[in-house]
Amino acid sequence: MGNSHEKLRALLESVYGPSIGDHAYTRIVALTDLFQQQQPATSTTEKGARERFSERDVVLITYGDQIQQVGQPPLETLAQTLPALIGPFINSVHILPFYPYTSDDGFSVVDYRAVNPEWGDWPAIEALGQHFNLMFDAVINHASQQSRWFQKYKQNQTPYVDYFITVDPTTVSPEEQAQIVRPRTLPLFTPVQTSAGLRYVWTTFSADQIDLNYESIDLFLEILDVLLLYVAKGARLIRLDAIGFMWKELGTSCIHQPKTHQLIQIMRLVLNLVAPDVLLVTETNVPHNENISYFGNGIDEAQLVYNFTLPPLTFYTFATGSAVKLTEWAATLEAPSSQTTFFNFMASHDGIGLRPLEGILNPAEINKLVEQTQAHGGLVSYKTNADGTQSPYELNIVYFDALNNPAATGRQAQAQQVDRFIASQAILLCLAGVPGIYVHSLLGSRNWPQGVAQTGHNRTINRQKMVNKQVHMQLADQDTIRAQVFQRYRTLIQLRTAEAAFHPNAAQTILSLNPHVFSLQRTSIDSSSRLLCLHNVSAQEQPIVIAPRQIPSLPESALQKVVDIVGGQTYTCPPDKPLTLTLSPYQVMWLRLS
């Protein structure tokens, strides 16, 4: 405990200087002391804390108003629907921003401490928390123009005048602005009229999303207070949205700055002091090596990092029918400590980011994904590069349709589409880490171009709201893609959560057994169970011939009798012969080894 306080003080002084840092330390200690008095149940010691991760951990990602019912606030509908729908096999729910907002489907927050009154209230959130571990969003890179903080900024009130970044664009050279990493093509500096005259504020994402100024210690302390409120309201995981852009400094790229990492370390220390069970999850849609920097040294930053390379690289794998690139990349995956793991996902409320493919695929290979997305009814979002050119940044498409052409019809085509999609999701479920499943993937949803026409935003194609009654009717109809995907997905999750070899920290060995089959071995922490996971990513049958020497540390007897827990078949082979299998198109085998 004493060491944590020393680290906290040192970090604050490093970021803000000795005088401000020392004063900030005193204020944070008072903040945490008050929290512990009010929330003693959260303040367990590390020794008494729950198991950090488990093979039982599976997270559903959903909007608060995702499933709707006439005459009922949607958060109440969610709290009533999800326990029966997914409760038997999913233990965690990530509710995307449920706060009052003005744009970007919740990511332009008006009030961090309130629930959107059109959706429900805090009791509805807490009711959901009675059944699931909850993940809350901390959208703390920026706030809405309509937020109270920004309104007081425009009135030139203290301390709010320092909560946002005021910039004189005439003092920023074109070279400095070109150096700044941008995920959008919109202007970086937005003019606003204030009581002190015209000012320009920093807007990384949009004119309605005003970047917060973490040079203000008052702002940072306010954010820490918000995080503690989320803990008090039941958050078991806190997702730090767009956190890589947190600290701005002209003359730099303004992403992944050292002080960004130091501020995350302070957040981690504060949570360790008062709520060690709560996990930080960083969201940084950037190339892989930049992304994993948010693990820190393995004990001082995020416990989970979004695995952003997985969705586009898996898309490429199924688009080409080759597992070679995915195999090469997956072999490099390694969390730095047992306190950390990847937050694996295949689809999200956003599109399929392309920046994580930098250094893995060449422009022609990435363009193949762009072309398939457009051919399958999807859209492409672009970013502005330092030289003024634009390049594809994100593919906007439902993941099912990214893999499958919506124009294909007929029972046979539909069956293969479901097989292909389920094979991709099986890869998600078997990789080391905690899987996050977007609600539209679990429910086998298709593109929603009508929504794009309504909003004018590409991402709406993947954000359709659903009517509770219609969802249940479709799930009851065995001929629908929704029912087939849901049932098969549920079965895979149930298999995963019953196997100790799928613990997020269980050993993982990526294998090269066939260029069209993504293969890996998972071994439980106590080495009592092994699973050999095979995923045919092609539309053709694929042979697999396995000798024990091909799999590290595998006993000679392990392949004499294996059971496919997905298909239920048992395979045997003589002691002196290799195990020979044939995978049908898009077949998944999870083999329990003797």
For the stretch 159-195, pLDDT in tens is 999 999 999 999 999 999 989 998 877 899 999 999 9
Please report, for residues 183, 379, 452, 461, 539, the alpha-carbon distance to residue 456 in angstroms, rounded to integers and kept in the order given.
Answer: 18, 12, 5, 10, 36
CATH T-level topology, domain 505-592? Immunoglobulin-like (2.60.40)
What pLDDT was estimated at residue 50? Answer: 60
Q: What are phi and psi of 576, to 5 degrees?
A: -100, 10
* Burial zone of 436 (CB within 10 Å; 0-12 exposed, 13-18 middle, 19+ buried): buried
Q: Which of 241, 277, 401, 419 is catalytic?
A: 241
**Higher pLDDT among residues 390 and 5, named by residue:** 5
Catalytic residue list contains 241? yes
CATH code for the domain defined by 59-145+212-500: 3.20.20.80
Is the confidence at residue 439, as pLDDT, over 90?
A: yes
Q: Is 377 helix (H, G, I), strand (E, B) or coil?
A: coil
Q: How far apart are CA 578 and CA 353, in angstroms?
A: 40
| Tokens describing residue 573 | 């082979």
Confidence of residue 549 (pLDDT cuts 50, 70, 90): confident
Q: How far apart are CA 529 and CA 363, in angstroms?
A: 41
278 Cβ contact list (under 8 Å, min separation 6): 42, 231, 235, 236, 237, 238, 271
Is the confidence at residue 41, as pLDDT, over 80?
A: no
Confidence of residue 40 (pLDDT cuts 50, 70, 90): confident
What pLDDT was estimated at residue 594? Answer: 77
| Least confident interval from 397-401, 406-410, 562-566 | 406-410
Is the confidence at residue 388, as pLDDT, over 90?
A: no
Enter the DSSP assignment of 348.
Answer: -
Q: What are phi and psi of 281, to 5 degrees?
A: -125, 120
What pLDDT was estimated at residue 43? Answer: 63
Nearest in space to 377 (alpha carbons), one of 357, 349, 399: 399
Q: How far apart are CA 179 and CA 385, in angstroms?
A: 9
Confidence of residue 45 (pLDDT cuts 50, 70, 90): very low
Enter the DSSP assignment of 327.
Answer: H
* Burial zone of 490 (CB within 10 Å; 0-12 exposed, 13-18 middle, 19+ buried): middle
**Higher pLDDT among residues 40 and 70, named by residue:** 70
Is the confidence at residue 8, as pLDDT, over 50?
A: yes
Q: Which residues pair with 212 in a beta bridge?
A: 164
Cβ–Cβ under 8 Å, residues 131 and 82: yes
Percent share of the chain, pLDDT over 90: 90
What pLDDT was estimated at residue 47? Answer: 42
| C-alpha angle 564-565-570 in degrees, rounded to nearest 5 | 35
185-240 pLDDT, tens per residue?
789 999 999 999 999 999 999 999 999 999 999 999 999 999 999 999 999 999 99
454 Cβ contact list (under 8 Å, min separation 6): 460
Confidence of residue 1 (pLDDT cuts 50, 70, 90): low
pTM as predicted: 0.96
Is the confidence at residue 385, as pLDDT, over 80?
A: no
First to last CA, the chain: 46
| Tokens describing residue 395 | 């593919």
294-332 pLDDT, tens per residue?
999 999 999 999 999 999 999 999 999 999 999 999 999
Cβ–Cβ under 8 Å, residues 283 and 356: no
71-94 pLDDT, tens per residue?
999 999 999 999 999 999 999 999
**Higher pLDDT among residues 157 and 554, named by residue:** 157
Is the confidence at residue 46, as pLDDT, over 60?
A: no
Query: To 10 degrees, the CA torsion angle through 297, 300, 303, 307?
Result: -50
What pLDDT was estimated at residue 409? Answer: 87
Is the confidence at residue 425, as pLDDT, over 90?
A: yes
| Tokens describing residue 575 | 């002691």
Q: How far apart are CA 303 and CA 25, in angstroms?
A: 24
> Would you list the domain boundaries of the chain?
59-145+212-500, 505-592
127-146 pLDDT, tens per residue?
999 999 999 999 999 999 99
Q: Which long-range contacts (CB under 8 A, 24 or more apart) does 242-245 make?
A: 242/139, 242/141, 242/142, 242/204, 242/205, 242/283, 242/284, 243/140, 243/141, 243/282, 243/283, 243/284, 243/294, 244/282, 244/284, 244/286, 244/290, 244/294, 245/141, 245/181, 245/204, 245/211
Query: What is the chain's mean pLDDT, rounded?
Result: 95
| Least confident interval from 61-70, 171-180, 444-453 | 171-180
Residue tagged 């040192």 (tokens): 10
Cβ–Cβ under 8 Å, residues 239 and 135: yes
Please report, for residues 146, 154, 158, 493, the alpha-carbon distance to residue 197 in angstroms, rounded to integers and kept in the order given.
Answer: 18, 9, 16, 57
Q: Which residues pair with 262 in a beta bridge?
A: none
Please report, for residues 16, 92, 121, 344, 379, the alpha-carbon distance to residue 83 in angstroms, rounded to integers and kept in the order given.
Answer: 46, 11, 18, 23, 34
134 Cβ contact list (under 8 Å, min separation 6): 92, 93, 94, 95, 125, 128, 234, 235, 236, 237
Q: How far apart are CA 67 and CA 70, in angstroms?
A: 10
| Tokens describing residue 234 | 């039941």
